[in-house]
Amino acid sequence: MLTRALKAGVHPDECKFTAGSQIQQFECPERLYVPLQQHLGRKAKPVVKKGEIVKKGQRIGEADGFISANIHAPAGGKVKTIEKVMLPNGVFDDAIVIEVNLESGEVAEPTWPMKPLSELTPDDIRIIAREAGIVGLGGATFPTAVKLTPPDNVKIDTLIINGAECEPYLTADHRLMLERTEGIIEGAELVRRAVGAEKVFIGIEDNKKDAIQKFDELLKNKSGWEVVSLRSIYPQGAEKNLIKVVTGREVPVGGLPFNVNVAIQNVGTVYSIFRAATEGIPLVERVVTVSGDAVSNPGNFVIPFGTPAKLVLERCGALFDEIEKVIFGGPMMGMAIKGYDVPVIKSTSGILCFKRAVREKPKACLNCGKCVEVCTLNIAPTRVVKFIRAGKLEEAKNAGLLNCMECGCCAYICPSRIPLVQWLRYGKFMLRKMEAQK
């Protein structure tokens, strides 16, 4: 076992209240609203019609292009209609509404080769990831099949399995690592085979000692595999940061992990590959942490995609009168939703309800330099933001605006409560606009 730590970053209160609660299966609701845009890239094309009977796991949306993902029915039933529903980002987009028939236990035949795990070739594994609609479950939802297809001239030597889960409150990956340890290891083996890596690291933060121990026991005698214990700090789970912490290699600005011969996958993602390969079930549900001070029964649940937030919150005893803010994802990088009808999708790692939202007016910058200290990507946020405020976008770009991954450390630490991340986002938008006009 190795121990490593990220330099810089912040350490908010962990608030991992649900770390001890076992994963429970969430009862499938009577009606599911399955959005066609649950991933990064092009929206899937619907392949079912109104009135059609679908089986569980049947493909209902087809990937439209290379960077896109298939969408499957999370439960058997009848397609009621295709209508617009609000997504976590507030945009209304097409979703397939399924009237669930709970009695039908029929599961659709997988559209990928079902073989013993040891016989699966790298191509088979890529087909599984593509066909089963698997995307990165860490939050970015980038189609996994693309990540498993390194360019021909690149030799991947290291695979990192990301179990950092550095966002406060979230415990979905933690529970998954404890309860589905073998599945994760088998899934990681498949990914290792697909990308051709020799070395596998499993990075877990040390606030999950039980998970580290469990993996360490299972992997002690497996050569080439190593568990990395990481000192808890945010944003260690961000791809580029974890690569740097574990391997010491730095991904160039605008580059991908491929550029430093590394592949990286979240624990949830590798587990869903394992599940698709063994049980033939595509990505139709995920573990979601429901927590926050406005929920009386927090916990970790396996929730089918398309389940409206309202049902989840009702089941967990949310105090609807007192809720001020509901966040999809973690508190640092998640999105506040604008209505309770928003369905759970592939990117939903948590649903957090809070009684109080931060509401402090920003004050003037003190030039204290705290934001510079915490930035893991070597940006001086205060300087870049000053350029943006002055409309000097070229200078902001030269000062590293485009490095920013919007992790939120600078805004979290700022004693003047300046919304630095929003300024940086705004700066990126204005820069793109300016460059497009040229």
- Residues 202, 194: contact at Cβ < 8 Å? no
Cβ 318 to other proteins shortest distance, Å: 17
* Span of 246-254, 334-342, 375-383, 395-403 interacting with other proteins by CB under 8 A: 334-342
234/152 Cα distance (integer angstroms): 34
169/298 Cα distance (integer angstroms): 10
Q: If we measure between CA atoms, which residue out of 184, 57, 40 comes closest to residue 112?
A: 57
Q: Which is nearer to other proteins, 277 or 420 (CB)?
A: 420
Considering only residues 91 through 150, tell me which ones interact with other proteins, judged by CB under 8 A.
91-92
Q: Taking the mean position of all CA atoms in its chain, how far away is CA 279? A: 23
User: Which residue has tokens 């949306």?
Assistant: 61
Within 158-279, strands assigned E span 158-163, 199-205, 225-230, 262-266
Cβ 62 to other proteins shortest distance, Å: 23
Burial class (CB in 10 A: 0-12, 13-18, 19+), 378: exposed
Q: Which is nearer to other proteins, 251 or 401 (CB)?
A: 401
Distances (CA, A) of 236 to 14, 143, 167, 200, 412: 14, 22, 9, 18, 15
Position 96, amino acid? I
Residue 301 sits in the site that holds other proteins (CB under 8 A): no
Cβ 356 to other proteins shortest distance, Å: 12
414/92 Cα distance (integer angstroms): 34
Out of 339, 366, 378, 415, the only residue in the binding site for other proteins (CB under 8 A) is 339
Out of 110, 113, 280, 419, the only residue in the binding site for other proteins (CB under 8 A) is 419
Binding mask 341-380 for other proteins (x = CB under 8 A): ----------------xxxxx-------------------
Q: Which is nearer to other proteins, 303 or 326 (CB)?
A: 326
Cβ 43 to other proteins shortest distance, Å: 15
Considering only residues 308 through 327, tell me which ones interact with other proteins, judged by CB under 8 A.
325
Distances (CA, A) of 109 to 51, 222, 362: 21, 34, 56
- Residues 69, 63: contact at Cβ < 8 Å? yes
Q: Which is nearer to other proteins, 141 or 300 (CB)?
A: 141
Residue 423 sits in the site that holds other proteins (CB under 8 A): yes
Cβ 391 to other proteins shortest distance, Å: 11
Cβ 433 to other proteins shortest distance, Å: 8
Strand order of the sheet with strand 71-72? 45-46, 59-62, 71-72
Axis-axis angle for helices 181-195, 122-131 (nearest 10): 120
Q: Which is nearer to other proteins, 243 or 353 (CB)?
A: 353
Cβ 412 to other proteins shortest distance, Å: 15
Cβ 267 to other proteins shortest distance, Å: 29
Question: Which residues on adjacent β-strands are paired with residue 54?
Answer: 77
Report DSSP state, residue 59.
E
125/263 Cα distance (integer angstroms): 15
Cβ 387 to other proteins shortest distance, Å: 15
Out of 338, 355, 356, 363, the only residue in the binding site for other proteins (CB under 8 A) is 338
346/268 Cα distance (integer angstroms): 11
Q: Which is nearer to other proteins, 132 or 371 (CB)?
A: 371
* Span of 70-78, 114-122, 203-211, 333-341 interacting with other proteins by CB under 8 A: 333-341
Residue 391 sits in the site that holds other proteins (CB under 8 A): no
Q: Is the dihedral of CA 38, 283, 347, 350 positive or negative?
A: positive
431/248 Cα distance (integer angstroms): 31
Applying CB under 8 A, the site for other proteins has a residue count of 23
Binding mask 59-98 for other proteins (x = CB under 8 A): ------------------------xx----xxxx------
Cβ 83 to other proteins shortest distance, Å: 7
Give residues in contact with other proteins (CB under 8 A).
83-84, 89-92, 325, 335-336, 338-339, 357-361, 419, 422-423, 425-426, 429-430
